[in-house]
Amino acid sequence: MRGFLTSSIGVATAAALALPLTLTTPAQAESIPAVPAGSTQSLPLVPLAPSGARIPGVPGMSTAPDPGETRGLAAREVKTFSLVGVVWDDVSTPLVGRVQVRTRAVGTGQWSDWQDVETHNGEHAADPDAPERGNGRVRGSTAPLWVGASDGVEVRVQAENAGTRAASRLPSGMRIELVDPGAEQPVAVLDGKNGGAGGLTRPARRPSGDDKGDAVALPGMTMETAESSSVNLPHASLGALEISELNKADSTADAAFASEGEFQAAAAARPYIGPRPKIVTRRGWGADESLRETGFVYTSTVKAAFVHHTASGNKYACKDAPAVLRSLYRYHVVSSGWRDIGYNFAVDRCGTVYEGRAGGVAKPVLGAHTMGFNTDSMGVAVIGTYSSTAPPAAAVNAVARLTAWKLGLFGADPRAKTTLKSGGGNRYPKGRNVKLHVISGHRDGFATECPGRLLYKQLPPTRTSSAKLQGR
C-alpha cells in the first residue's frame, strides 16, 4: 500500500499555476474586519492531598482509604473557552481512570454539574509507525468535551485502583486544555458577491489546460488557505465556502471530469457513484490553516469508511457546529500534536457534511481516525456522543449519502467486505490482513466504544441505503 507526501512548495506552486495570486494590499487588509482568533489555555493538573480525593458531590469519585492517585485543578476563573480535554506527555501511556469537569457559563455565571470526559486511549490517532505519530509533538489525550462558552473550570482526575500501585498511577505531565474556537473568518467579497457556492467569480479551470488566468486579489485569503482550497478544484472554485450537491448523473460526470487527476483515473468507468452531497469546505467552517502542517499525505485508494462519534457531547446547536469543528481541529493539532484534524469528514446532528483533514474531498487523504487502519480508508465522525443517545436520522442519512459518493469514486460497494492490512493497534497486530465491512464502525478496527452503541446499530441499514444511492 502506497503513501506519499506532497510538499507545501509543490501544492502552492500548483495553486499558483491554477490561479496566480496577488498579495493583499494594506488598503484591502484594512477592509477585512478584525476577528478574535482561536486560543488554547493549557493548565497543569496538580496532585491532591488524600483528603482532597474524597470529593463530596463528585459522582463516581472514590472515598476509599486508597483510591489511587488523584490530580486536579481547583475551581478558578479563566479566559473564555468552549471545549475541554486532558492531555499528558507520553502518547503510549494509557490513562486508566476517571476524568470529570464542571464549568461556569459565560453570562449566567452558573456552574454546571460534574461531567465525565471520555478517556479514550490512542484509538483516534495515526498508526504507530506513521511519521505523524513520530513527530515528537504527539501527546496522550482524552476525548474533547464541548461545554459552550465558559469562563470558569474545575477538574478532578482519579486513577482506577486495579489492585496494584502501578495500575493506580496517572500519566505524567497531565494538563487541562481549554479551547476557544474563535470567530469565523470574514468572507472576501469580490464584485459585490461570492462566485460559485461562495467562491470566486471565475471558472475553476479551463478545459484547454492552458489556464494562465488573470491576477486576482483575494482579500483575507492566506497562501495556506489557497493551498487547502486548491486541492478541491475542479469540484468547486478557489475559495469556495461549500461544494455543491449533485445528482447521480452529474456526480458521475464530475468524477469523469476530475479523472485527469492522479487518484481517479478509472472513475469514469465506474457506474456506481452516488449523488454528491453538499460539503462545507474548511474555509466554510473557518479552519485556521496556519495551525496544520503544510502539504498533504495520501494513500493509494479508499477501500473502507470508518464511522465515529466525536464523544464531545450533544449540547450543541447545529448553528454552532462550525465552532465545534474549529475547537476539535485546534484540540487535535495544538493540544494532541497531530498534523491536522484526524477525521476526513464530519457530520452534524442536522445532516450537514463538513470537509475534515485537508487534501481534497475527492482524494484518498490519509487521516488519523482509526489506529491501525488509517491507510486506504476514510474516517467520518458524527458530532456528538451516541452511547445512550440515538443519533438523529438526518445525521445517519448524511453518512449514507457521503459514503455512497466517496466510496463510489473508488469502486467500493457499501454492502461488501474488504481486506485491510493492520498498521498495529490493540485489536489486530501489525501486518495482519483483516476482513472488514466496507462501512465499519471504529470499534471494528480498534477495541473502543466508538462510535457509541446506538450509532453502531445504525450501520447495517446505512450500508443498504448507501448501496441504493449508488444504484446497486
* E strand spans, 198-327: 216-217, 242-243, 279-280, 296-299, 304-309
Is-contact 20 200, C-beta < 8 A? no
For residues 315 and 394, membership in a common domain is answered with: yes
For residues 1 and 53, membership in a common domain is answered with: no
Domain boundary at 150, 180, 210, which? 180
> Is the bond preceding residue 44 a cis peptide, omega within 30 degrees?
no
Of 86, 91, 71, 47, which is closest to residue 158 (Cα–Cα)?
71
Position 412 scores a pLDDT of 95
CA angle 135, 141, 144 (to 5 degrees): 125
Cα gap 305→335, rounded to integer Å: 26
* E strand spans, 131-250: 140-141, 145-159, 175-180, 216-217, 242-243
Position 207 scores a pLDDT of 31
Position 5 scores a pLDDT of 45
Q: What are phi and psi of 296, to 5 degrees?
A: -135, 150
Helix (H) or strand (E) holding 104: strand 97-105
Of 356, 371, 401, 383, which is closest to residue 455 (Cα–Cα)?
383
Nine cell digits for residue 359: 487534501
CA angle 331, 294, 222 (to 5 degrees): 90
Q: Which residues contact 19 (CB under 8 A, 6 or more apart)?
A: 200, 202, 211, 213, 216, 226, 230, 238
Domain boundary at 128, 152, 180, which? 180
Here the CATH number for the domain that contains residue 100 is 2.60.120
Here the CATH number for the domain that contains residue 392 is 3.40.80.10
- Please report, to the nearest 10 degrees, the dihedral formed by the alpha carbons of residues 338, 174, 168, 147 taken in order: -80
Strand partners of residue 298? 4, 365
Q: Which residue ranges in the chain fall short of pLDDT 70?
A: 1-36, 49-67, 121-124, 161-167, 185-220, 258-270
For residues 8 and 107, membership in a common domain is answered with: no
Cα gap 158→95, rounded to integer Å: 10
For residues 136 and 277, membership in a common domain is answered with: no
For residues 433 and 400, membership in a common domain is answered with: yes
Position 427 scores a pLDDT of 82
The stretches of 206-337 forming alpha helices (DSSP H) are 223-230, 248-258, 282-285, 321-330
For residues 361 and 453, membership in a common domain is answered with: yes
For the packed helices 393-409 and 248-258, what is the interaxial angle rounded to 10 degrees? 40
Task: Give SS3 for 208.
Answer: coil
Domains: count for the chain: 2
Cα gap 17→328, rounded to integer Å: 33
The stretches of 259-368 forming alpha helices (DSSP H) are 282-285, 321-330
Is the four-CA dihedral 180, 126, 264, 421 of positive or negative sign?
A: negative
Position 271 scores a pLDDT of 82
- CA–chain centroid gap for 342, Å, is 5
Pairing of strands 345-347, 377-382: parallel
* E strand spans, 367-416: 377-382
Nine cell digits for residue 375: 491507510
For residues 420 and 438, membership in a common domain is answered with: yes
Domain around 463: 1-34+186-472
For residues 390 and 374, membership in a common domain is answered with: yes
Cα gap 265→268, rounded to integer Å: 7
Strand partners of residue 4? 298
Task: Give SS3 for 82.
Answer: strand
Position 3 scores a pLDDT of 45
Tally of CB atoms within 10 A around 419: 11
For residues 30 and 43, membership in a common domain is answered with: no
The stretches of 51-207 forming alpha helices (DSSP H) are none
Position 420 scores a pLDDT of 96
Give residue for cell 476525548.
143
Nine cell digits for residue 456: 453502531
For residues 133 and 169, membership in a common domain is answered with: yes
pTM of the predicted model as reported, rounded to 2 decimal places: 0.84
For residues 255 and 152, membership in a common domain is answered with: no
For residues 451 and 413, membership in a common domain is answered with: yes
Position 162 scores a pLDDT of 53
Domain boundary at 180, 202, 227, which? 180
